[in-house]
């Protein structure tokens, strides 16, 4: 039934997989993720002027901030997949797949889904602030999934903390051994350039106006560097020697097993250090390595085609009110028009509408390789976590839903829009914008929306009104904790005060409690009732 070409050109498949680098940037809001993303694309020469991808409030036009609400708030809520070719300064060509993640903690479930689709992550840290809460949470997700991390200390052009102090903080607070690849010449706020610790060269930066173009770099030999940077060079050399004495030199093995992290110093806004980051991604970040299936067996990248959906998103802009399922290719070659199998239903899946999505710009995607992201338009049957395959069956593990902490009853405010209301709620549920819970007691007209963060409710309300013409009113419910239970337990729990039991769309029974103390009480008084934890945000 399939027409996949996987297997027919094994050398090509292996070479194409080997040059993919699929990663995401994790950071606390304001560390400079959008600025860095623009700078990376600019340096790879995919765009000629910074500012065309992420338009924050007050910046240039927007490509990925697709929703009015995002524009108003100046935050990026949705994920975008960017792909661009890059040739390293040594002449090696690779393909970068940069998966964008929402910065706000309320969307950590969305970020988690994206992190299931990457092979490495860039942990972006503000030089003045060090490790911040959202960075720490996302780091824990990466550690849990064993995703190797490249650390970037950004905003070095501004006064900030001492570089050695930041290294200590990384080592002590998250237990990763920092192994700097570059070391700053000049303290934060007085940035002269970096010492490339692998070559010993001084890379001097020259300022460009507003960071609108790629910054020119000058490579100066060590013996001329003192003359160029004076005492700052000597200090950088001394500190670098201290690091070597402490065994803080790059080690590929510990990087890949997530116990050490190479470190770079940048100023994304001034385009400093961005070339180094691209080169490090190309040379050191791991290429796709297949994926583990539900039984823990690895399907190699060179096996027949397989992919899993990590995100479903609709209404990306007013010109395309459709729905895209983003699938990460794990193995094999994808050719548009291939007929795949949808593992959860066993049904054939036609891929005529495959697209690549670059910010808001879309183009038809004809071929994709392991590590790439395929945007499948109008894929109504696909949900996050679904597997698609060709030739040889495989099922990848489901992506766990997070434990909701906010609950609200949704009611349509316009009774004539009943149909649109149902359709909208179903769509938001399938995309994973919110979880939708139902119970006999509350009836189908008033589903309960459950979220990790309250901003998910804002997105749901906004989209119900703007996209489905079915405005809703949300009535908050006084619950803050959820646990999975079984049908026998549900019967007992339903009779208790400050506890309610709902059925989630995937069939799971969720018992919700007003507080964690109420939950502990109930668990103590009903020892035979099984109450299992869901994945918590930041686990």
CB nearer to ligand G4P: give 30 or 300. Answer: 30
The answer to the question of residue 209 lying near ligand G4P (CB under 6 A) is: no
189: left (phi over 0), alpha (psi -120 to 50) or beta: left
58 or 527: CB nearest ligand G4P: 58
User: x/- contact string, 268-307, with ligand G4P (CB under 6 A)?
Assistant: xx--------------------------------------
100 annotated to a ligand binding site: yes
Helix (H/G/I), strand (E/B), else coil: 475: strand
* Shortest spacing between CB 272 and ligand G4P, in angstroms: 7
Residue nearest to ligand G4P (CB): 32
Structure tokens belonging to residue 433: 């914008």
158 binds ligand G4P (CB under 6 A): yes
Q: Say whether 342 counts as a known binding-site residue.
A: no
User: Least separation, in Å, of the C-beta of 315 and ligand G4P?
Assistant: 22
Site string for ligand G4P, 219-238 (x = CB under 6 A): --------------------
103 is in an annotated binding site: yes
Rule CB under 6 A: say whether 101 interacts with ligand G4P: no
Q: For residue 62, what are its two tokens?
A: 């927007």
Shortest Cβ 287–ligand G4P spacing (Å): 27
Return the H-helix or E-strand segment holding 51.
Answer: none
Structure tokens at 421: 């209301």
Residue 56 binds to ligand G4P (criterion: CB under 6 A)? yes
Helix (H, G, I), strand (E, B) or coil at 375: strand
Q: How far apart are the two ends of the chain, measured CA to CA in Å? A: 41
Question: Which of 154-162, 218-226, 275-283, 360-368 is the region at the interface with ligand G4P (rule: CB under 6 A)?
Answer: 154-162
Identify the residue among 113, 155, 463, 504 touching ligand G4P (CB under 6 A): 155
Structure-block tokens of residue 93: 């060509």
Answer yes or no: are the C-beta atoms of 119 and 147 closer than 8 Å.
yes
Residue 29 annotated as binding site = no
Cβ distance to ligand G4P smaller for residue 158 or 442 = 158
Among 34, 101, 276, 331, binds ligand G4P (CB under 6 A): 34
Contact 65, 37 (CB under 8 A): no
Calculate the alpha carbon distances from 61 to 25, 43, 44, 112, 233 in Å. Answer: 22, 19, 20, 28, 40
Element (H, E) at 226: helix 222-229
Burial class (CB in 10 A: 0-12, 13-18, 19+), 369: buried
Complex with ligand G4P: residue 158 or 320, whichever CB lies closer: 158
- Closest distance of CB 217 from ligand G4P, Å: 16
Distance CA 125, CA 131 (A): 6
The one among 55, 102, 103, 288 contacting ligand G4P by CB under 6 A? 103
User: In the complex, what is the shortest distance from the CB of residue 387 to ligand G4P, in angstroms, rounded to a whole number?
Assistant: 32
- Tell whether residue 58 is a contact of ligand G4P (CB under 6 A): yes
Instruction: Enter the tokens of residue 487.
Output: 């049908």
Distance CA 279, CA 19 (A): 12
Considering only CA atoms, which of 49, 53, 55, 58 is closest in space to residue 210?
Answer: 49
Binding mask 254-273 for ligand G4P (x = CB under 6 A): -------------xxx----
The answer to whether 97 touches 21, Cβ cutoff 8 Å, is yes
> In this chain, which of 108, 154, 240, 275 binds ligand G4P, going by CB under 6 A?
154
193 neighbors 202 (Cβ within 8 angstroms): yes
Exposure on the CB side of residue 237, measured as CA atoms within 13 A: 15
- Tell me: is residue 288 an annotated ligand-binding position: no
* 451 touches ligand G4P (CB under 6 A): no
Q: Which of 2, 14, 46, 59 binds ligand G4P (CB under 6 A)?
A: 59
Residue 365 contacts residue 27 (beta carbons within 8 Å): no
Comparing CB distances to ligand G4P, the nearer of 360 and 521 is: 360
State the residues that interact with ligand G4P by CB under 6 A.
27, 29-35, 56, 58-59, 103, 154-155, 157-158, 267-269
Extract the annotated binding site for GTP: 100-104
């Amino acid at each position: 039934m399939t027409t996949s070409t996987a297997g027919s050109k094994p050398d090509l498949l292996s070479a194409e997989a080997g040059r993919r680098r699929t990663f995401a940037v994790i950071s606390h809001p304001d560390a400079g993720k959008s600025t860095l993303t623009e700078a990376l694309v600019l340096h790879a020469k995919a765009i000629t002027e910074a500012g065309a991808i992420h338009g924050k409030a007050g910046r240039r036009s927007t490509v990925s901030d697709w929703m009015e609400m995002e524009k108003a708030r100046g935050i990026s809520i949705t994920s975008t997949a960017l792909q661009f070719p890059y040739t390293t300064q040594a002449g090696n060509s690779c393909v970068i797949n940069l998966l964008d993640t929402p910065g706000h903690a309320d969307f950590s479930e969305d970020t988690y889904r994206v992190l299931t689709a990457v092979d490495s992550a860039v942990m972006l840290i503000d030089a003045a602030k060090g490790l911040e809460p959202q960075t720490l949470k996302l780091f824990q997700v990466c550690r849990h999934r064993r995703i190797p991390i490249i650390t970037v200390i950004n905003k070095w052009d501004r006064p900030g903390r001492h570089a050695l102090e930041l290294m200590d903080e990384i080592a002590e607070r998250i237990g990763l051994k920092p192994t700097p690849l570059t070391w700053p010449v000049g303290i934060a706020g007085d940035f002269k350039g970096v010492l490339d610790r692998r070559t010993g060269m001084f890379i001097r930066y020259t300022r460009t106006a507003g960071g609108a173009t790629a910054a020119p770099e000058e490579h100066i030999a060590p013996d001329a560097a003192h003359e160029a940077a004076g005492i700052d060079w000597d200090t950088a050399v001394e500190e670098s020697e201290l690091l070597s004495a402490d065994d803080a030199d790059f080690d590929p093995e510990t990087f890949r097993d997530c116990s050490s992290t190479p470190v770079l110093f940048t100023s994304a806004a001034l385009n400093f250090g961005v070339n180094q980051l691209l080169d490090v991604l190309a040379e050191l970040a791991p290429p796709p390595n297949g994926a583990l299936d539900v039984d823990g067996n690895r399907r190699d990248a060179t096996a027949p085609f397989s992919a899993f959906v990590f995100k479903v998103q609709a209404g990306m802009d007013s010109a395309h009110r459709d729905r895209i399922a983003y699938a990460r290719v794990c193995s094999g070659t994808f050719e548009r028009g291939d007929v795949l199998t949808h593992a959860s239903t066993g049904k054939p899946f036609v891929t005529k509408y495959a697209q690549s999505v670059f910010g808001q710009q879309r183009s038809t995607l004809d071929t994709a390789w392991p590590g790439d992201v395929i945007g499948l338009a109008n894929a109504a049957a696909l949900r996050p976590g679904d597997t698609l395959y060709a030739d040889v069956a495989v099922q990848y593990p489901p992506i766990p839903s997070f434990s909701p902490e906010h609950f609200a009853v949704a009611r349509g405010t316009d009774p004539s829009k009943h149909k649109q209301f149902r359709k909208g709620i179903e769509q938001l549920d399938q995309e994973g914008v919110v979880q939708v819970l139902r119970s006999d007691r509350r009836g189908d007209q008033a589903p309960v929306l459950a979220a990790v963060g309250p901003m998910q409710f804002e997105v749901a309300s906004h989209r119900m009104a703007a996209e489905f013409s079915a405005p809703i009113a949300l009535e908050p419910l006084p619950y803050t904790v959820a646990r999975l239970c079984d049908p026998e337990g549900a019967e007992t729990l339903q009779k208790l005060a400050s506890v309610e039991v709902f059925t989630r769309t995937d069939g799971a029974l969720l018992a919700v409690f007003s507080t964690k103390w109420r939950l502990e009480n109930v668990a103590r008084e009903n020892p035979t009732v099984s109450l299992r934890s869901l994945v918590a945000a930041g686990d």
